[in-house]
Structure 1
């Protein structure tokens, strides 16, 4: 592993960006059919309320197999770029805040603030892709992909059309990111202390990656439950079933905000977050860096 003097260097953040981009883009591309179903379940709940297999079969029969991959380019590019910025910025802010706030704040505050800061900036890159992707998934005749979808949105709605759902996107992703990163960090710490009974530095690479996977699945499941209401509101706004977030909440219903599409989102995001962290940490390990978890000063203390 590389020395602690490189933990906060720009080369380190560059590796984190590449790792986040490749892991996020690949995992989100892989679950495109389930994402198509999730969006349609949110928009047409009465039509797709008989389970995942039935919903996928309905889309296949009525719209063809290609419909299950509608919006794949938005998933690959949008979430790839967003993932690169999210993971790299999280590492950057985590080290920045630890250097300036750790004496006055808890470690949990550092993780929450870092996830919040990283996600705010990362979602600015995702919003335009998400605007086109959702329209592609729920409007079969809207466009063929990003190449004609972007000009169409701009021509019909102007620049605001790309950021129509930015506030709901933040409402979904900010709690998700804060809970996901924080619970991941705490899960890693608890697993090493209470299950493995060894420091990370004393574990083999397969053991470290195994800890990453267990912590990631826990983090993904918790964050999914927290972010589900905002995900339903965002889809409703993009579909133009409501003109404001408050109207969308009223139309959907308070209970439905938490329950609608929740099973499929857990089925989606649990494995996705797990695989994402696994690929991300694998790329870091192959680059000679330690797996994720903890603060840079923890590495320095171990070195000392």
Structure 2
């Protein structure tokens, strides 16, 4: 299925004649909908770009950018994540972030704060590959399915659908790498079988899919709003450094919302990993409403910073690799004409 999506995403219509004049004509194709009126299509490499927008090579680079953004950032915040999880599952012992660090250092030393960094790095690198790479694939594919005008009018739903689809597949590797160290794999396989790796997959989806939907959709729309209402000049007039500052700001805002919507499910997943044999519902009942929201502030700080850095690294990678970076969506000319004919104001 994924190979067919990639294959479809790299294709374009063959029915379009190449203009014989030097006048720039918007190229028809799969990837025109969110970049209406501009010549961004998987037909030729634009001047200054290293690859075609929507090509297999482009999606491959997006996946590599996801590897770097997720692998590096999640590994860097392992100590904070470890303390946050301990606050969630044992608030009597770990009373606050500062206290959690103090107790962990006293009992386990500095090495205790780095516990689990290896499976975290490899697991989140693979997840980043799927999350960012497939998001770009699904965004292009769904754009083609619903058409140019609908892709603009319902772009928030487009971002939500594409990110949810990407996260669904990205989470499948997660229980193997991120929740269990490699030395535990044979024992888990022997005692519980393959199901032992995936017993927390459903609550993981409950946490990660809303998280990723917010992460991508909120980021995309925040970037759009920042350029429209905050940045004093069009994106085309901004330097690459200024654009990356906007990326970081939009990423942090998206991260705050990500933390809030996914925190209860994150607490349940932490509890399930502590107590074998429990179900998600049983864990939620034990935690109670107050327990479900325990550790929210450190999670907001962690996820906000994490998400901002991920988007910064991902966008900086695109800049370094000279990848196409389409500007915020514009209303298609066909839709402008329809609204003008109906006497409606252009949004």
Question: Given the two structures, how large is their TM-score scaled by the length of structure 1?
Answer: 0.87
1:164 aligns to what? 199
SS in 2 for 1:289: coil
Query: Which structure has the larger Rg over C-alpha atoms?
Result: 2
Runs of 4 or more above 2 Å deviation: 2-5, 102-105, 197-202, 290-298
2:159 aligns to what? 111
SS in 2 for 1:224: helix
Residue deviations 1:31-67 (CA, integer Å, cap 9, x gap): 1111111121122111111x21221110111122211
Residue deviations 1:109-140 (CA, integer Å, cap 9, x gap): 101101100000000121212330xxxxxxxx
The aligned runs of 1:1-304 (5 Å cut-off) are 4-5=41-42, 6-49=52-95, 51-102=96-147, 103-104=149-150, 106-132=154-180, 145-146=181-182, 148-240=183-275, 243-257=278-292, 259-291=293-325, 294=328
CA distance in 2, matches of 1:116, 1:59: 36
1:137 aligns to what? none
Q: CA deviation at 1:200?
A: 2.3
SS in 1 for 2:171: helix
Structure 1: stretches of 5+ with no match in the other structure: 133-144, 299-304
Question: Given the two structures, how large is their TM-score scaled by the length of structure 2?
Answer: 0.77
Structure 2: stretches of 5+ with no match in the other structure: 1-38, 43-51, 333-347
Q: CA deviation at 1:256?
A: 2.4
CA distance in 2, matches of 1:91, 1:150: 32
CA distance in 1, matches of 2:315, 2:170: 20
CA distance in 2, matches of 1:101, 1:88: 21
CA distance in 2, matches of 1:54, 1:292: 45
Normalized per residue, the structure richer in helix is: 1
CA distance in 2, matches of 1:44, 1:296: 50
Contact 2:83 2:100 in 1 (8 A): yes
SS in 2 for 1:235: helix
- The CA RMSD over aligned residues, in Å, is 2.0
CA pair 35-163 structure 1, distance change in 2 beyond 3 A: same
Aligned residues: 282
CA distance in 1, matches of 2:251, 2:285: 33
Contact 1:237 1:244 in 2 (8 A): yes
**Of 74-83 and 4-13, the range deviating more from structure 2:** 4-13
CA distance in 2, matches of 1:116, 1:281: 21
